[in-house]
A and B are shown apart, each in its own frame.
Chain A
């Protein structure tokens, strides 16, 4: 029987990953009313940036070889750059398009990124080893917890606090919050639409890179399909949290992570393979009870 502390760290670290991915989606939805389905592919892109481009089965570390103090900022910058570039190339030209048209182009963009990764790296999942030492267990509260789980939980808290501070205390944060509530009014007051939107994409891309680092370390696999899987859960988290609500995205991310771990631990053995069916039943129940999400966003005014 796994200990309660072990369960807690499993839940908190999985929830932390979901929360960060969901935050990345909620940030952009907040300012643009865009559900960016390419977000998962930013994550996959960042994971693959760790290894040398090749279709060989064995991965050779590339960026992943760099020391952490270099690797982390470079990868965060790369994620931010990828997201900002996709805004510049795709979404900037669709500012006046309907939310549905934008969502569909984000799907298309996701496929383009995924297929580019396929072409460059091949379709087979590759084993990668990033910071293997982090998977050594340490004793916490009587449980053996991989160091990485502790780091994930702390990183999530740190990221959430940093983001909250940025939104609350900086000029860009103020402009982003104002634009999220009423974009036209913010622009009438001189807030530059391009600055706010680029800022939101940069933050979102950096969050994707953080998730990529954690997933690469934890799973030790680079797989072109990984983006789609995390995107699905993160998207559900943003919907349950209330589309556009940042606290909602974080709370729902942790909720889904927690529910997933608890179901895995306490479902009878014979139905455990169907864990996700139970999880998504809970999701449906949640949406039936609160269709607007746990935290309704302050407003969803049309952008621009």
Chain B
């Protein structure tokens, strides 16, 4: 069977610095997969390569049988891929509601846009309250919600979320993941999430792929990784997979 997303032997380099080397991985339809690994492992570069924002130097990426490699980001978005980037990258000079509309230009069902915006406001009531406020004035957690809502407004089939927990209080992170899981169930989304904490990933549930030094070094149930990390933490005082982040949470 053809998988939802196929990454075959993909390499990325920035000048002479290799960020990814011959990475191969597959996602099935409706799956929830976490990408984990230390800072600089190449997690964001992988998402960049899939979304078309970062050029690959080798290999090929396919979604639903369409070749993504070499396509422009806007063309890939049209195929049903949406991205919540690291650091959220919301449009601070636009209002909350304008942010949600930026990604609706590619939709054929323009009539459904208003209803979908209201749905986002139901999922994130705080965004509804501040719909006319400048997005730059939102708190970090609200910006994360806006970035997720904005990505959903393109009506994606595959959504990628890069470190949703970055810089957020644990309670807000819980809320963000609850919403992501709920939205995935409602919409049958396939989710690819960068998450450094294996315990967090295990609690949410799903498969986990471990990157290190630009290569895949592990692939399995998130719970198994979390257990291993807890063990190594007990032995070495710190988990190998997530050096500092875990302690902070």
Contacts and interface: CB of A to CB of B under 8 A. Distances in A.
Interface of A: 171, 174-175, 177-178, 181-182, 184-193, 298-299
B102 A189 contact: yes
Interface of B: 51-53, 72-74, 77-78, 82-83, 85, 89, 91-94, 98, 101-103, 105-106, 150-151, 154
Instruction: Give me the 6 closest cross-chain CB pairs, A-B, nearest first.
Output: A189-B103, A190-B106, A190-B77, A298-B93, A187-B73, A185-B89
A177 B134 CA distance: 13
Chain A at the B interface: SS class = helix
14 contacts: A174-B94, A178-B102, A181-B91, A181-B93, A181-B94, A184-B73, A187-B53, A188-B74, A189-B103, A189-B154, A190-B74, A190-B77, A193-B72, A298-B92
Contact of A178 (B72, B73, B78, B91): B91
Q: Which of A178, A187, A190 neighbours the largest number of chain B CB atoms within 10 Å of its CB?
A: A190
A171 B73 CA distance: 19
Among B74, B89, B98, B101, residue most surrounded by chain A Cβ atoms (within 10 Å):
B74
B74 A193 contact: yes
Contacts of A186: 91, 102
Contacts of A187: 52-53, 72-74, 77
Contacts of B150: 189
A192 B85 contact: no
Given A188-B52, A190-B103, A191-B74, 20 more contacts: A174-B98, A174-B102, A175-B102, A175-B105, A177-B94, A185-B85, A185-B89, A185-B91, A186-B91, A187-B53, A187-B72, A187-B74, A187-B77, A188-B82, A188-B85, A189-B77, A189-B102, A189-B106, A190-B78, A190-B105
B77 A177 contact: no
Nearest to A185: B89
B67 to A, nearest CB: 18
Nearest to B77: A190
A273 to B, nearest CB: 44
A158 B69 CA distance: 46
B91 A182 contact: yes
Nearest to B93: A298
A188 B105 contact: no
Contacts of B78: 190
Given A174-B102, A178-B102, A193-B74, A188 B93 contact: no
Contacts of B89: 182, 185
A175 B105 CA distance: 9
B78 to A, nearest CB: 6
A171 B94 contact: no
Contacts of B98: 174, 177-178
Nearest to A192: B74
Contacts of A182: 89, 91
B71 to A, nearest CB: 11
A29 to B, nearest CB: 15
